[in-house]
């Protein structure tokens, strides 16, 4: 028995390891042709980086804007396809590119030698300086790199700035966060003393917040590292060539400085004028919609699968039992965040067209199933064996016994525990925001980017989550009361 279980674990581990590598890369470079065939260019970006990329509201609709977006639009037009923006964490962009979730990355990304090992870059289309954002009250203390001795510096994880601080400010602690907005909140609450940022972005934050200031601390920068380039899959030379052609034309007409940056600036001013949260209620509404979709669908599948796993676990077949136990233990023993990323990037590498929303729902459902299975098992085991015996002695099959006798009674016993699991699911589903599902958490980040306000969107989001969970608790309590009467 023990041996059997161990064996199963090994199999599951091996499967987990193999799946991401089963994708066979196209032998010849038909990347450009593929994009043309499907008619859309899927572009990954991290839209909290004005003026490169951020969101703005136009006629009540959320749009991705910024100079990178303008370039992407132009490129899509040049190769004659539609543009589709996939917004995600900066850290996730390269993984998404490697797993072919996206065709290209444009996110103010610097073509560093490290990145070049896994990404094919276009020419540099824009060069900005590396600045530092500080609190205005510290302006007298901090001017150059050496002034920051012993201070904590913030930088976006996976970014060029993060490596710069690591390499050139060895005496400092680096605080890495995924979102610039969170870094700015950390700066304002003095968790960090400065945030390393690209020039244009830093200036945008300073312009929108009177208490912040931009300085040039004088990083020693290799010219090839400061520029921004478009990233493609390794080997996608046809796309790189096409992109370089577009970049040449953009440069020839000086479109970035003459057209794209002014347009971005206009959007940024428009955003900063609409700082009242009331202007962003549609953002929150969309977030609530997606959070509810994910929760409801995951509750349904989590429950169905959970019941299945519970019955498997109670099975007399050692193999089936072992399979269920392995699954439950494995899922409960790994973080939901890792599972979400694994389904999206790992399984998504095999099934290319797997949308983030579906990946998120699959991961959350599978996760929930493991917990629900244990709740249901405990419920089933709480039913006295006399119930089964009475049912079987009447000639009812095991299946009928479960369906009419055991499950209805077990459900009543476990209702509070199940309810608790569903409430938890509303909250835990927030993790899917890391793969770019537009749930409430994700929308909150968009509002943060758009308004340059850190804390208020968090507070509003918190209240909304509470109202949803509290409402659900009340509904569940009502049904629990009803069941007691029966």
Partner 1 sequence: MPNLIEVQNLGKSFGDNEVLKNINESVKKGQVICVIGPSGSGKSTFLRCLNVLETPSTGKVLFEGNSLTGISESELNNLREKMGMVFQSFNLFPNMNVIENIKLAPLRVKKISDTEATQRAKELLERVGLADKAEQYPQSLSGGQQQRVAIARALAMNPEVMLFDEPTSALDPEMVGEVLKVMQDLAESGMTMVVVTHEMGFAKEVADEIWFMADGSIQEKGTPETFFKTPKTERAQDFLSKILN
The binding site for partner 1 (CB under 8 A) comprises 384, 386-387, 389-398, 400, 404-405, 408-409, 412, 486
Nearest to 17 by CA among 471, 299, 349, 461: 349
Which structure tokens are listed for 135? Answer: 């609190």
CA atoms within 13 A on the CB side of 265: 10
CA distance linking residue 388 with residue 326, whole number of Å: 27
Who contacts 55 (Cβ-Cβ below 8 Å, separation ≥6)?
47, 62, 63, 64, 65, 446, 449, 450
What's the min distance (Å) between Cβ of 271 and partner 1?
A: 58
Query: CB-wise, 7 or 404, nearer to partner 1?
Result: 404
Q: Is 404 helix (H, G, I), strand (E, B) or coil?
A: helix
CA distance linking residue 158 with residue 156, whole number of Å: 6
What's the min distance (Å) between Cβ of 5 and partner 1?
A: 23
Which residue is associated with the tokens 């581990």? 13
Burial degree of 223 (CB within 10 A; 0-12, 13-18, 19+): exposed
Who contacts 9 (Cβ-Cβ below 8 Å, separation ≥6)?
326, 330
- Could you tell me which residues are beta bridge partners of residue 121? 231
Query: CB-wise, 141 or 403, nearer to partner 1?
Result: 403
What's the min distance (Å) between Cβ of 386 and partner 1?
A: 4
Query: CB-wise, 286 or 392, nearer to partner 1?
Result: 392
Query: CB-wise, 72 or 405, nearer to partner 1?
Result: 405
What's the min distance (Å) between Cβ of 405 and partner 1?
A: 6
Query: CB-wise, 230 or 405, nearer to partner 1?
Result: 405
CA distance linking residue 15 with residue 18, whole number of Å: 5
What's the min distance (Å) between Cβ of 398 and partner 1?
A: 7
CA distance linking residue 283 with residue 442, whole number of Å: 9
- Could you tell me which residues are beta bridge partners of residue 61? 58
Query: CB-wise, 76 or 406, nearer to partner 1?
Result: 406
- Could you tell me which residues are beta bridge partners of residue 40? 82
Query: CB-wise, 314 or 337, nearer to partner 1?
Result: 314
Q: Are strands 130-135 and 212-215 parallel, antiparallel or unpaired?
A: antiparallel
Who contacts 177 (Cβ-Cβ below 8 Å, separation ≥6)?
154, 156, 157, 183, 186
What's the min distance (Å) between Cβ of 393 and partner 1?
A: 4
Query: CB-wise, 79 or 396, nearer to partner 1?
Result: 396
Query: CB-wise, 112 or 413, nearer to partner 1?
Result: 413
CA distance linking residue 263 with residue 260, whole number of Å: 5
CA distance linking residue 361 with residue 364, whole number of Å: 5
Q: Are strands 104-105 and 40-45 parallel, antiparallel or unpaired?
A: parallel
What's the min distance (Å) between Cβ of 400 and partner 1?
A: 5
What's the min distance (Å) between Cβ of 411 and partner 1?
A: 9
323-337 as b/e: b if 16+ CB within 10 A = bbbbbbebbeeeebe
Query: CB-wise, 467 or 483, nearer to partner 1?
Result: 483
Query: CB-wise, 59 or 385, nearer to partner 1?
Result: 385
How many of the other CB atoms lie within 10 Å of CB of 6? Answer: 12
Which structure tokens are listed for 15? Answer: 């499967």
What's the min distance (Å) between Cβ of 381 and partner 1?
A: 17
Query: CB-wise, 358 or 396, nearer to partner 1?
Result: 396
What's the min distance (Å) between Cβ of 410 and partner 1?
A: 10
What's the min distance (Å) between Cβ of 483 and partner 1?
A: 9
What's the min distance (Å) between Cβ of 396 and partner 1?
A: 6
């Amino acid at each position: 028995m023990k041996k059997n279980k161990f064996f199963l674990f090994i199999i599951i581990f091996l499967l987990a390891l193999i799946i991401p590598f089963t994708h066979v890369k196209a032998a010849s470079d038909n990347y450009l042709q593929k994009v043309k065939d499907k008619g859309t260019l899927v572009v990954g970006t991290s839209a909290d980086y004005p003026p490169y990329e951020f969101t703005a509201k136009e006629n009540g609709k959320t749009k991705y804007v910024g100079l990178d977006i303008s370039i992407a639009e132009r490129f899509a037009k040049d190769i004659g396809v539609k543009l589709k923006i996939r917004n995600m964490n900066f850290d996730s962009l390269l993984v998404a590119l490697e797993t072919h979730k996206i065709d290209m990355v444009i996110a103010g990304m610097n073509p560093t030698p490290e990145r070049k090992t896994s990404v094919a870059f276009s020419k540099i289309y824009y060069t900005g300086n590396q600045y530092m954002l500080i609190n205005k009250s510290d302006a007298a203390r901090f001017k150059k790199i050496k002034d920051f001795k012993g201070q904590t510096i913030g930088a976006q994880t996976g970014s060029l700035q993060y490596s710069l601080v690591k390499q050139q400010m060895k005496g400092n602690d680096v605080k890495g966060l995924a979102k610039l907005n969170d870094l700015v909140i950390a700066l304002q609450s003095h968790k960090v003393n400065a945030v390393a940022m690209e020039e244009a972005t830093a200036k945008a934050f300073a312009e929108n917040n009177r208490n912040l200031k931009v300085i040039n601390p004088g990083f020693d920068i290799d010219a090839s590292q400061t520029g921004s380039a478009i990233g493609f899959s390794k080997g996608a030379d046809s796309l790189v060539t096409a992109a370089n052609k577009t970049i040449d034309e953009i440069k020839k007409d000086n479109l970035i400085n003459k057209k794209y940056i002014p347009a971005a600036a206009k959007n940024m001013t428009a955003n900063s004028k609409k700082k009242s949260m009331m202007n962003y209620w549609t953002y929150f509404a969309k977030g609530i919609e997606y959070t509810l979709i994910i929760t409801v669908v995951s509750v349904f599948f989590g429950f169905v699968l959970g019941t299945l796993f519970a019955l498997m676990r109670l099975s007399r077949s050692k193999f089936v039992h072992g399979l269920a136990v392995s699954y439950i233990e494995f899922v409960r023993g790994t973080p939901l965040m890792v599972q979400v990323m694994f389904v999206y990037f790992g399984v998504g590498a095999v099934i290319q067209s797997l949308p983030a929303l579906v990946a998120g729902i699959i991961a959350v459902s599978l996760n929930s199933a493991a917990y629900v299975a244990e709740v249901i098992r405990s419920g089933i085991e709480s039913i006295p064996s006399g119930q089964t015996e009475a049912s079987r002695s009447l000639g009812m099959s095991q299946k009928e016994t479960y369906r009419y006798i055991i499950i209805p009674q077990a459900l009543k016993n476990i209702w509070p525990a199940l309810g608790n699991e569903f409430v938890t699911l509303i909250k835990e589903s927030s993790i899917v925001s890391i793969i770019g599902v537009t749930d409430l958490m994700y929308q909150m980040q968009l509002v943060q980017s758009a308004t340059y306000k850190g804390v208020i969107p968090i507070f509003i989001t918190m209240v909304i989550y509470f109202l949803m969970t509290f409402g659900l608790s009340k509904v569940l309590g009502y049904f629990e009361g009803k069941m007691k009467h029966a």
